[in-house]
A and B are shown apart, each in its own frame.
Chain A
């Protein structure tokens, strides 16, 4: 079953075409990797999907209905939740209270919301930090918290914007396991990621963006061998040695 269907999506910033007619289809339960060099338009795609930016053209259908023109909170409530590349926890709230802001939508009473929040906090492994202020967490824990808050909206589709960035090897392994587990639980995941090992091992399919256009799509190993992808990342002169 198709969960997300993007067709002809366009966004222009002045003279720059940040997203140039993108088509994208995601099946329910799928984990799709969205990769591309810096400035390729990946985060802009997230901002368009989640309603933080209005597209200049094209259509976004989520779960059978158009979400173009809806506000971010409305899209979130339909079941599409995002994280931010630059994490934005509420610094003066505890970890638990941060997640509780999310769970209050489904559990209006504070004790029920707190209980639901605690379950999510435990699930992402932040249990021991539940009562600490979010502002004092390490980057790895702040990334976890960012993920926990989005997860607590109980989404059908999770948009993860570079949740591995800035983490060390152990932390990345933990995060890969966590994201894999979330997907295995039935939540579809659209993953923007620069860490190739992580994105290649997690994704069912990978879409490559360059200058706002889709230049390749397919299974992780197909994409990794695609000469247009290597060219986009490394430049033309690397294409032949890489294939040799």
Chain B
């Protein structure tokens, strides 16, 4: 298993030197959405608190780094951390409201969506942060401005993000924090009765998850060179973040990665091939069908099903 993982990483490191630039772009999206999915996985998968507003943290992180860079000349390499901290603060506020006052299930979903929508409306209407026009980042190609002539640098940054988040989740799963998260997902009251401070554990998961997602916002901003309130704070991005770990297997280390390797190319290909013919949004239909199929046939996600298959072959 370890050898397999090592081989996969070596393969991914070498890949951009043997394939064309289009495939590199597709891979960047795979890695980046796997990273966001992994960040969501901590609170949504392991702790079972279904946040459907994670776009808010991407937006906060992206806007913070972009504004600090444009207005204060601060390098996004630093702004990235400040964006992460601000996203974590928002995550703490949402988490406290939801967890302290016992908003579970659908109610927590609605709370997170509401906060993301508030962010979107504020960003749309406050001209100081770009208003409805959003923010555009001038291309300089300066590495200190998180800008690169060579697409492959973004590729490696996205790869590192994905691998680091995955290593973190792998570590969490093997320690007390992860054991508590898994137990909370299954029965919160039982956890309380057994001496687990569930509020604290869930808050920690939410803060960590929103911090990582906020970091991702900087990559989003400086890879796409633009931030549009509707795109970066909108419900569609929140859905993109949630759907990969769910399809791949929420609450598993490999789920978000597998989900992203399945869905991101689908999204990218259908966007490329169907957009010209007036088929914009066709990938959403593909998502819908796939999601129905997963819920019906693989309710635990693709990764646990894959594991079972491999074990049965081995046995």
Contact = CB atoms under 8 A, between A and B. Distances in A.
Interface of A: 50, 52, 71-74, 76-77, 81-82, 84, 88-93, 97, 100-102, 104-105, 108-110, 113, 149-150, 152-153
Interface stretch (B91-99, B144-152, B187-195): B187-195
B195 A76 contact: yes
Given A101-B179, A108-B176, A90 B187 contact: yes
Contacts of B137: none
A153 B187 CA distance: 17
Contacts of A72: 189, 192-193
Nearest to B201: A73
Contacts of B198: 73
B184 to A, nearest CB: 9
Interface in B191-205: 191-199
List 4 A-B pairs, minimum CB-CB distance, nearest first.
A76-B195, A72-B192, A90-B186, A88-B190
Nearest to B200: A73
10 contacts: A52-B193, A72-B193, A73-B196, A76-B195, A84-B189, A89-B187, A90-B182, A101-B196, A149-B194, A153-B194
B194 A81 contact: yes
Q: Which of A74, A76, A77 has the most CB of B within 10 A?
A: A76
Interface of B: 174-176, 179-180, 182-183, 186-187, 189-199
Nearest to A97: B179
B190 A90 contact: yes
Contacts of B193: 50, 52, 72-73, 76, 81-82, 84, 150
Contacts of B176: 104, 108-110, 113
Contact of A110 (B174, B191, B194, B197): B174
A14 to B, nearest CB: 20
A113 B175 CA distance: 10
A90 to B, nearest CB: 4
Contacts of B182: 90, 92-93
Contacts of A52: 189, 192-193
Contacts of A108: 176
Contacts of B195: 73, 76-77, 81, 102, 105, 153
B252 to A, nearest CB: 12
A109 B196 CA distance: 15
A73 B192 contact: yes
B189 A88 contact: yes
A109 B179 CA distance: 11
Contacts of B194: 73, 76, 81, 101-102, 105, 149-150, 152-153
B46 to A, nearest CB: 12
Nearest to B196: A73
A73 B192 CA distance: 5
Contact of A104 (B174, B179, B186, B187): B179
A101 B191 contact: yes
Contacts of A104: 176, 179-180
Contacts of B180: 101, 104
Q: Quick one: which of A52, A97, A105 has the most chain B CB within 10 A?
A: A105
Nearest to B197: A73
Contacts of A81: 193-195
Contacts of B191: 73, 101
A193 B258 CA distance: 50
Nearest to A78: B195
A71 B198 CA distance: 10
Contacts of A113: 176
Nearest to A99: B194
Nearest to A50: B193
A67 to B, nearest CB: 14
Contacts of A102: 194-195
A149 B193 CA distance: 10
A72 B199 CA distance: 11
A181 to B, nearest CB: 21
A135 to B, nearest CB: 9
Nearest to B174: A110
A61 B231 CA distance: 56
Contacts of A149: 190, 194
B225 to A, nearest CB: 44
A196 B52 CA distance: 51
B183 A105 contact: no
A188 B312 CA distance: 48
Given A81-B193, A105-B195, A149-B194, 20 more contacts: A50-B193, A52-B193, A71-B192, A73-B191, A73-B193, A73-B195, A73-B198, A76-B194, A76-B195, A82-B193, A93-B186, A101-B179, A101-B180, A101-B191, A101-B196, A110-B175, A113-B176, A150-B193, A150-B194, A152-B194
